[in-house]
Structure 1
Amino acid sequence: MKVNYSVKQMGKKHPLITTRSIEIEEIGESPLLKVLIEAVVRQQVKAYNERKAEKTLVDYLKPSDINEQKEQGKVGFGDFENDNQADEEKAIATALQAFEDGIFCVFVDEEQVGSLQDTVTLQPESILYFIRLTFLSGSIW
């Protein structure tokens, strides 16, 4: 199943991740939010682990690579210092806990999904928004 998603942060004009499409396992047209989050995390962990496994031979950046990475806000070679693979089950548990703790919220086509037990209706053109919530910080001085 193809899902469109974006990641935004409160107080920021531009999204952290612009709208992209990913292919997730078949979860039906109206899955529970919990099932949807689990499927997205599985796909992202798999993609992350595959990226870490492949070694690049080219250790320089072309001008087109630099311009593309500038749009995302970080220019780099894409190398990893940590060679450990991500643990899928731990990542799923962390994502579900983060949702329950209010670290991020989920919108589907501009409608907020409030609970992990709520059903989500996905259309082919639907966009799934993950909004990272930031907490106000400061001092009393």
Structure 2
Amino acid sequence: MEIKVTVKQLGRKHPILSEQKLEIAYNDPKISLENLLKLIVQQQVETFNAKSFELEDADDTKIPLDDYLNILTDTGKAGFGSIYNEKKADLQKAQENAVQSFEDGMFAVFYNDEQLDSLTQTVDLSLQHTFTFIRLTFLAGSYW
């Protein structure tokens, strides 16, 4: 089944990732949020593990296009497609991490502008609305 996903961060005008379509291995129109998170993580882990790891003797300079630099500065992460860690992602650990992160309030999930609060909450995928994941950041400060 194909779903639409957008990733945002609070305080940013533009999404970190524009709307993407993900293909998940699920056919039933009703799904719990926990199962949906696990299927999305499974799809992302499979995509990551399918990438080839090329060891280069020389590090070639990869200069991004001008419009890409704005995206890099907005997200605070400069990545040019090189993968330096040769380990494959562990699906079980990644799924547990995603569920635990949701329970800990590290990100919020919205489906058609309605916040999904519980992992047991059921979502109707037949409506084909966009899922929005918002990464929440904690404020840091001191009393000094």
> Does TM, scored on the shorter chain, surpass 0.5?
yes
Moved over 6 A (4+): none
Q: Residue 130 of structure 1 aligns with which residue?
A: 133
Q: Deviations over 1:59-109 (max 9, x none)?
A: 6758xx635744642665411111000000000000000000000111001
Q: Residue 66 of structure 1 aligns with which residue?
A: 65
For residues 55 and 81 of structure 1, do their structure 2 counterparts lie closer, same or farther at Cα, with a shift above 3 Å needed?
closer
Q: Residue 37 of structure 1 aligns with which residue?
A: 37
Give the root-mean-square deviation of aligned CA atoms: 2.3
Q: Residue 120 of structure 1 aligns with which residue?
A: 123
> Matched residue pairs, number?
137
Q: Deviations over 1:18-53 (max 9, x none)?
A: 1111111015211000010000000000001112x2
Q: Residue 109 of structure 1 aligns with which residue?
A: 112
Q: Which amino acid aligns with 2:18?
A: T
User: In 2, Cα distance between the equivalents of 1:50 and 1:68?
Assistant: 28
CA contact 1:23–1:43 (8 Å) conserved in 2: yes
Consecutive unaligned residues in structure 1, runs of 5 or more: none
Query: Within the alignment, does 1:49 sit opposite 2:52 as a pair?
Result: no
Q: Which amino acid aligns with 1:81?
A: Y
| TM, length-normalised to structure 2 | 0.83
Q: Residue 7 of structure 2 aligns with which residue?
A: 7
User: In 2, Cα distance between the equivalents of 1:25 and 1:72?
Assistant: 31
**Partner SS for 2:124:** coil
Consecutive unaligned residues in structure 2, runs of 5 or more: none
For residues 136 and 61 of structure 1, do their structure 2 counterparts lie closer, same or farther at Cα, with a shift above 3 Å needed?
closer
Between the aligned residues of both structures, percent identity stands at: 39
